[in-house]
Structure formats: C-alpha cells, structure tokens
A and B are shown apart, each in its own frame.
Chain A
Amino acid sequence: MDAIWVAALNGLVVGASLALVAAGLALLFGVLDILNFAQGDFFMLGAYAVWLILGLGLNFWIGLAVGVVAVGVVGGLTLMLLLWPLRHRSHALMLLATLAISLILEQLATNVFGADSKPVAAPVSGRIPIGHTAYPVYYLLVVAAAAVILLGGYLFLRYAKYGIWLRAVAQNHRMAGLLGVPVVRVYALAFVAGSGLAAVAGSLLAPLTSVYPTLGLDINLDAFVVVIAGGLGNFRGAAVIALALGIVESLGSTWIQGEAVRILVFGLVIVLLIVRAQRGRGAVRV
C-alpha cells in the first residue's frame, strides 16, 4: 500500500512541474498560435541557474529567483525579438525558429557547462513518514509551490487587468488593439510569463533530476502532450492534464512497464486530438 501512495506522490511531483512548463506553453500558444520547441530548454536553463548560484555559495531560493528573472525576462524577450518579425509568416517558419533556438541553447549549454550531469542539493533535507516509508519533504514542497504558482496564474488571468487583456489578445488581437489594449506589451508578458514558468519548474525540479544540457527534451515532449490533451491555449486544462498524466504514469509504472504506460498515454492523446480536431483551436482560457 505504501508503494502506491509513494508512486502517487511521485506522480504528483512530476505532474506539478510538468503543469508549470505546460501552462507556459499553453499561454504562448494562446496568444501567438505557436508551440514553442524551446520551452524545455528554458526549463533546463532554470535548472542551470540554481546549479550556478549554489556553486557560488549562495542560497537555493536565490538561484530560483535569478533563474526565473533571467530566463523569464531575458529569455522570453529574446524569444519574442526573434519571433516577432515572423509573426505574419507561416506557422511552420515560427515552429522551425523555436526549434533552432532550442538546438542552439542545448549546444551552448553543452559547450559552456559540459555534457555531464550536475547534482543539485535540495534546500530542505527532512523526511516525513508515509506508512513505513520516509518521504522527502522537499518533494511535497515542489507540489505546494507549483500549486501556489498555478493558482496565482489562474487568478491573474481571471481577474487582473493584464490577465483579462491577455485572454482578449489571444481571442482577437485586432479588436483588442481597437479598444486600446497595449497589444505588444501583452505579447511580451506572454513570452516572459511562459518562459518564466518553465524556469521555475526547472529550478524546482533540479534537485530531483540533476542538471544536464538535454534535460528539457523529455519534459518538452510531455508538455506538448499535456497542452494538446488539455486543449491548446487552455491554461487550466493544461494544469489538470499535467497532474493527471504525472499520477497515471507513476501509478501505472508500479504495475506495468513504464514504456507500455507511455504508449497508452500517447494512444489516448491521439483519440483526444481526433475529438478536438472537430472543435477547432482554443485561445487562452482559464
């Protein structure tokens, strides 16, 4: 019984981090209509930020803050600068551009930090008993932090001025502009928030995964699955599906082979895609 609880909690930890990455991806898709292949790399850069700051002898949480600001603001705005001139061109071109950014960031990380895996110590080392198992407190902290950030994001989109404008621009940017909404600023916000969410997840998960240049690859694939299954552009849907995916994969792996679980999950996504193809695309929803 303990194994099931632990597997469920592990799933929740992975799902919570995945939810952050996927929510950022959904946000960006909602306003710009593109899937950002570099999202996983922002996750990776967030993890490296923590590793670097810890290497300087500073606090983990400072590393997290630096990672979010640096990756969110610098990374997000750089991504925007690169994609902005392409916004009226074909979507395939924008997708290729994000893929190029992803490859460049991975190669840069390899050249600068090396290809080896860097361990990161968790800032909280305590354990709490779950049945007969001592479960790391930090894992639960990751879930709590992700929940707070996602709830904050939901409330922001629902009630804050810029949240309302973000949804408006996502649904009809021309009309939003005609009402005086600062459309370019709203786009910039989507880029910064989308990249920042990935960086938070990367920083939080660094002690669980260690840090290496291709760290973002797996989570990127999972985030794509989540965003597609949750409804492209659907912030809340992405968060819910991410949690569900994490738990199902983790629990499923206790009974059947992990690879078989993934095949089942991908099969379900194909079914969802067929259903959603008949409904059309969504803008940012909360």
Chain B
Amino acid sequence: MLELVDLHAFYGRSHIVQGVSMRVAAGDGVGLVGHNGVGKTTTLRSIMADGPRTEGTITFKGADLTGVPTGARVRRGLGMVPDEEAVFPRMSVEENIRIGALLRGAKMADQALDLAYELFPVLAERRAQPAGTLSGGQQKMLALARGLALRPDLVLVDEPSEGLMPINVELISEALRRAVKAGTGVLVVDSSFDLLRTVCDRVCVMQRGLLTGEYPMAGFAGPDQLVATYLGER
C-alpha cells in the first residue's frame, strides 16, 4: 500500500532523511524506532508532504505521490496524528473530531463521532469542552481518535505514548491494535515497548537518517533488547 524508495528529506540545507526505503501494507503494524533526531518524524512528515523538501519516490496504493499536496494525500486515504499541537485548543472536542470528517459529509461526521467516542469514552463525557482544557493524555486520545475516526487506509502516528501514564498508553495501544486488526496500515514512531508490542508486527530501526534494520517485534524479549538494537549494540 505504502512504499518509500530511496526517500531523502531536507530542511533547508540539512539533509535529515538520507535514503529510506520501506513498505507498509494494509493491516500492517510497523514501528519506526531510533534515537531522537535521526529523522523518524521527518520521514512521517515527508510522507504527508508536511514541510520538508523531498527526493525519491513515495507510492501509495500504486500511485506516485510526487507533487501531490497534503490535502489530496488525505483524500487518497493517508492520515497523520502528529506529536505536538495536534488539537484545536479553542474548539470543542466534538468540533475537533468533526473538522476532518466534514470533508466526507455530515453522515460521515456523525459516524466519526460514534467511532471516536467508542474508542475513548472519556471524550464523549467531555464532548462540549474546549480541547485546550483537556489533560495532555486526553488531548493525545482526542488526536488519535480523530485520526482513526476518519478511517484512513494508512495512518502515521508520531509518539502517541510520549508523556502518558501507563493506563493511557494501554488505551492508545488498544485503539491502534484495533485499527490494525480492521485492516488499517499503521506506521508508528514511538519508544514504548508495550505499545510497539501491542500494535506492531515488525519494527524498522533508524540511525542518522538511514534505516539500518528491520526486525520482527516478537524477536524482542524486552525493552532493553529493543533499545540495544537501535543503539547499535546488538
């Protein structure tokens, strides 16, 4: 479904991603792991045409995405849940969920609300509350619920567990696992071993802008082994 071939990404003169090639199919859960600053987020943003200048090929559902703007990529079935500033703070929880769903009509917007509230019932309780007044964990849930409620064919999720309490990591992991089970491709950047184990079949390790290996998630006995892998100690 998604294929990156020799992807390079640049911010100004900085060459962040230096030749990444990978595939994510429908129903795949793939983790992208590595140190801070190795280019994981830039890879996701490149796939969405969200900022960096890119070279190389990004193919989605058989079509080359070169020159295709962000909005058109979304309409083709790609979605992204960014790490920071992912909610509209002065809009209600309900409005936050409806924003993207409105593209596909009022009926889809209602369905998106139902699905989002089913994934995270706490959002239903706070539907009229401005998103900016939610806790950090609830804001992460809102962003993820909205991303999944749009029913993308493939969703890119950046650091969903960062700064969350273990109970919230469990909830978010479960929501992503359900999406994978339902046939959505998930490419997630995260460092939580529990989340990666719940969501992903395999992880791709990134170092200094390059993919240095791809491993089945079942092959890692624990978080230390995973960390050792992306530190290059294994």
Q: Chain A: residues with CB nearer than 8 A to chain B?
A: 161, 164-165, 167-168, 171-172, 174-183, 282-283, 285
Stretch from B57-65, B93-101, B200-208 that touches the partner: B93-101
Query: Could you say which residues of chain B place their CB within 8 Å of the CB of A181?
Result: 71, 99-100, 103
Structural contact, B99 and A176, CB atoms closer than 8 A: yes
Query: Could you say which residues of chain B place their CB within 8 Å of the CB of A175?
Result: 82, 85-88
CB distance from A284 to the nearest CB of B (A): 9
Structural contact, B88 and A167, CB atoms closer than 8 A: yes
Structural contact, A180 and B48, CB atoms closer than 8 A: no
Contact residues, B53-102 vs A (CB, 8 A) = 70-71, 74-75, 79-80, 82, 85-91, 95, 98-100, 102
Structural contact, A164 and B71, CB atoms closer than 8 A: no
Structural contact, A172 and B88, CB atoms closer than 8 A: yes
Report how far A181 CA is from B99 CA in the complex, Å: 8
Report how far A164 CA is from B95 CA in the complex, Å: 8
CB distance from A157 to the nearest CB of B (A): 11
Q: List 16 A-B contacts (CB under 8 A).
A: A161-B102, A164-B95, A164-B98, A164-B99, A165-B102, A167-B90, A168-B91, A174-B85, A175-B82, A175-B85, A178-B79, A179-B74, A179-B150, A180-B71, A180-B100, A180-B150
| Interface SS majority for chain A | helix
CB distance from B213 to the nearest CB of A (A): 29
The residue from A174, A179, A283 contacting B99, defined by CB atoms under 8 A apart: A179
Report how far A116 CA is from B169 CA in the complex, Å: 71
Chain B: how many interface residues by the 8 Å CB criterion?
24
Structural contact, A178 and B90, CB atoms closer than 8 A: no
Q: Chain B: residues with CB nearer than 8 A to chain A?
A: 48, 50, 70-71, 74-75, 79-80, 82, 85-91, 95, 98-100, 102-103, 146, 150
Report how far A175 CA is from B48 CA in the complex, Å: 11
Report how far A75 CA is from B146 CA in the complex, Å: 37
Report how far A174 CA is from B50 CA in the complex, Å: 8
Structural contact, A180 and B88, CB atoms closer than 8 A: no
Contacts A174-B85, A179-B100 known; list 5 others, CB within 8 Å.
A168-B88, A171-B90, A175-B86, A177-B50, A282-B90
CB distance from B156 to the nearest CB of A (A): 10
CB distance from B217 to the nearest CB of A (A): 27
Report how far A283 CA is from B100 CA in the complex, Å: 19
Query: Could you say which residues of chain B place their CB within 8 Å of the CB of A176?
Result: 88, 99
Top-9 shortest CB links A-B: A179-B100, A180-B74, A171-B88, A161-B102, A177-B70, A180-B103, A168-B99, A180-B71, A178-B80
Report how far A157 CA is from B88 CA in the complex, Å: 15
Query: Could you say which residues of chain A place their CB within 8 Å of the CB of B150?
Result: 179-180
Query: Could you say which residues of chain B place their CB within 8 Å of the CB of A180?
Result: 70-71, 74-75, 100, 103, 150
Chain B CB within 10 Å — which of A167, A171, A176, A183 has the most?
A171
Report how far A279 CA is from B233 CA in the complex, Å: 49
The residue from B50, B95, B98 contacting A178, defined by CB atoms under 8 A apart: B50
Query: Could you say which residues of chain A place their CB within 8 Å of the CB of B79?
Result: 178
Report how far A276 CA is from B95 CA in the complex, Å: 26
Query: Could you say which residues of chain B place their CB within 8 Å of the CB of A174?
Result: 50, 85
Structural contact, A178 and B82, CB atoms closer than 8 A: yes
The residue from B70, B82, B86, B99 contacting A165, defined by CB atoms under 8 A apart: B99
Query: Could you say which residues of chain A place their CB within 8 Å of the CB of B89?
Result: 171
Smallest CB gap from A284: residue in B: B90
Report how far A158 CA is from B46 CA in the complex, Å: 33
Report how far A174 CA is from B45 CA in the complex, Å: 11
Query: Could you say which residues of chain B place their CB within 8 Å of the CB of A177?
Result: 50, 70-71
